[in-house]
């Protein structure tokens, strides 16, 4: 869908008012898509309507608990693409991991994939997490982590590491017939920075090639940090030092 303008194409974004969902909605609006935006029932989507002058006419809000398969189907009906972002995203220790994390992540993903298949969706994009690939104490040292390297779920569950567990459990369900899935984080080979940035990770050549071939455009880290700092200063969260004035 990169670099194309599709006036009448409808795309569903689940969890549209979350962090990643909001950026996806903004990008889709800039590319003139119509959007079925699902939000958790009773949560606030108002900021989505400030993202673009045409936001009001192009966004339709669907209050959807991702565990409700009928509600998921209604939101995905008539869509040609789906970004599935609605999932619990927390590093806090849950009281009931099965109910709070695993069920929404796994059953939610299944509901989205099944509804997408029924609706003839052309592509489903699932945001998984790098934590679907680590930790795994059995992975050999000095070997590049790629799409054959997965988190050891039993290791995580025994140690109460729920975020990697449910990301991996959800990801296992994506290979469904007739549904093409792109799982951004999971296609990444951890890249070769000049210096070690994360202890224990092994650099490898052309790490991002497959993502670039999928159409992803990378922002230089300097630009991303500068833009983040400028945005924080503009909103008053960060003070400009006298030397920067
Ligand atoms: N942010 C990152 O850096 C990052 C990195 C790697 C992977 N990811 C993955 O990307 C996904 C989204 O992350 P995010 O940072 O955008 O998180 P987020 O801001 O918390 O957004 C998640 C959205 O999903 C919604 N949601 C949660 N449970 C739901 C349910 N049962 N039914 C319907 N909606 C539900 C939330 O609604 P409410 O908050 O309104 O309840 C929220 O709008 C997660 O799967 C996360 O693991 C994120």
Task: Map out the domains of the chain with their CATH numbers.
Answer: 10-219 (3.40.50.720)
Question: Do 45 and 15 form a contact (C-beta atoms < 8 A)?
Answer: no
pLDDT, position 200:
66
Ligand 1 in contact with 111 (CB < 6 A)? no
Residues 49-108: tens digit of each pLDDT: 999 999 999 999 999 999 999 999 999 999 999 999 999 887 788 899 889 988 999 999
| Measured torsion, CA atoms of residues 20, 106, 72, 81, in degrees rounded to the nearest 10 | 50
* pLDDT score at 28: 96
Q: Considering the entire predicted model, what is its pTM?
A: 0.81
Closest CA to 22 of 4, 57, 46, 56: 46
Beta bridge partners of 232: none
pLDDT in tens, 120-167: 999 999 988 888 887 788 888 788 877 788 888 888 888 887 777 666
Q: Which atom of ligand 1 is nearest to the CA of 21?
A: 16
Q: How far is the CA of 136 from the centre of ligand 1 (A)?
A: 24
Q: Is 69 in the pocket of ligand 1 (CB under 6 A)?
A: no
Q: Can you list the alpha helix ranges (DSSP code H) found in 11-152?
A: 19-30, 55-58, 69-76, 97, 103-119
Does the bond joining 101 to the residue before it have cis omega, within 30 degrees of 0?
Answer: no
Mean pLDDT of 178-195: 39
- The count of other CB atoms within 10 Å of the CB of residue 243 is 5
pLDDT in tens, 14-66: 999 999 999 999 999 999 999 999 999 999 999 999 999 999 999 999 999 99
């Amino acid at each position: 869908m990169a670099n194309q303008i599709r006036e009448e194409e409808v795309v569903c974004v689940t969890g549209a008012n979350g962090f990643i969902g909001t950026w996806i909605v903004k990008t889709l609006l800039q590319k003139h898509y119509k959007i079925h935006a699902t939000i958790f029932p009773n949560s606030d989507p108002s900021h989505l309507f400030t993202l673009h002058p045409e936001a009001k006419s192009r966004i339709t809000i669907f209050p959807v608990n991702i565990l409700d398969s009928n509600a998921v189907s209604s939101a995905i009906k008539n869509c040609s693409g789906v970004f599935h972002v609605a999932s619990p995203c927390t590093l806090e220790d849950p009281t009931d991991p099965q109910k709070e994390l695993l069920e929404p992540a796994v059953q939610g993903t299944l509901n989205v994939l099944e509804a997408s298949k029924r609706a003839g969706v052309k592509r489903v994009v699932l945001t998984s997490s790098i934590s679907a690939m680590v930790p795994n104490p059995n992975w050999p040292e000095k070997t590049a982590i790629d799409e054959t390297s997965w988190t050891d779920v039993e290791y995580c569950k025994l140690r109460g590491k729920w975020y990697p567990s449910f990301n991996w459990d959800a990801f296992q369900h994506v290979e469904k017939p007739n549904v093409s899935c792109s799982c951004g984080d999971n296609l990444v080979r951890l890249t070769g920075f000049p210096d070690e940035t994360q202890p224990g990770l092994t650099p490898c050549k052309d790490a991002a090639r497959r993502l670039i071939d999928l159409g992803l455009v990378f922002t230089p880290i300097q630009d991303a940090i500068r833009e983040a700092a400028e945005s924080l200063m503009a909103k008053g969260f960060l003070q400009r030092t006298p030397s920067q004035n």
